[in-house]
Amino acid sequence: MIVVGVDIGSTTAKAVVLNESATIWSAIIPSGNSPPSAGKEVFALAVKNSQHTMEEVSYVIATGYGRVSAEFANKTVTEISCHGRGANYLNPATRTIIDIGGQDSKAISLDEHGKVIDFMINDKCASGTGRFLETAAELVLRVKLQDLGTLSAKATDTPNISSACTVFAQTEMVSLLATGVPVENLVAGLHRAVAARVSSMVKRIGIKPTVMMTGGVAKNSGVIAAFRKELNIDVVVPTNMDPQLVGALGAALIAQEMAKNGGTGRV
């Protein structure tokens, strides 16, 4: 039995193919300006990577920002539930998830079965999101997004970027650059600002170890270090899977359960 989980985010579309032997295949592509097209494309690419055919797919769950556009899916499930299921599968000790997406950030609390017991989401302000980091890197600091972690490790100081507003925060960084603050120090300050904003949500739902960070921003070692300092607790990143795929994996696991149970299952 082949099932697929498709996570259509604002920045990337991800898909995970899962078989009964727990073999996993995947694909990640940019969402571009058409999430519906990206969902179809990443779905087909992941199935192709698995060397199976569309006709062999038994069940599809769509999640993420663009899930409502996934007419190819049997059912849609919130990304909160999918991240919970995926994180629990990768590390059953996970009790808290920090997920930073392109346009929102989430703090999720889980029980020992991977069921969501509480969550908070920030989708009203770009500050504390992947888009905020991307814009600051490319438009203000003039560095590549993938270089932020390496740069922050070279910082000798961490300036305070106090504004919670993206536009004002960027203005702060421009002013600090003009006074001669090194780029690597500004990157460290940027990471601390993101960690501080998102950590406030994590603290409100209650921090319980193990804390796992998912999403593309989890690839940024500087952000991970900032969260560890802000929360005074270890924050782990999946080592057996790209952290961007955790939501799609959770969707595939839910799809597998529903395929076995005639369209019903734990969400």
59 in Cβ contact with 3 (< 8 Å): yes
- Can you give the residue ranges of every domain in the chain? 1-91+241-267, 94-237
- pLDDT bin (cut points 50, 70, 90) of residue 126 is low
Task: Kindly give the residue spans of alpha helices, DSSP state H, lying in the chain.
Answer: 35-49, 79-90, 130-135, 148-152, 166-178, 183-205, 221-231, 246-260
In the chain, % of residues over pLDDT 90: 76
In the chain, % of residues over pLDDT 70: 96
Q: Matching CATH topology for 1-91+241-267 and 94-237?
A: yes
- pLDDT bin (cut points 50, 70, 90) of residue 265 is low
What's the chain's average pLDDT? 92
200/74 Cα distance (integer angstroms): 36
Pick the CATH number of 1-91+241-267 from 2.40.10.10, 3.30.420.40, 3.90.1150.10, 3.50.50.60: 3.30.420.40
Q: 171 or 265, which is more confident?
A: 171
Give me the pLDDT at residue 139, please.
87
Is a pLDDT exceeding 80 seen at residue 133?
yes
Ramachandran sector of residue 206 (left: φ over 0; alpha: ψ -120 to 50; beta: rest) = left
24/46 Cα distance (integer angstroms): 10
- pLDDT bin (cut points 50, 70, 90) of residue 121 is very high
Is the CATH code 3.30.420.40 the one for domain 94-237? yes
41/203 Cα distance (integer angstroms): 38
- pLDDT bin (cut points 50, 70, 90) of residue 267 is low
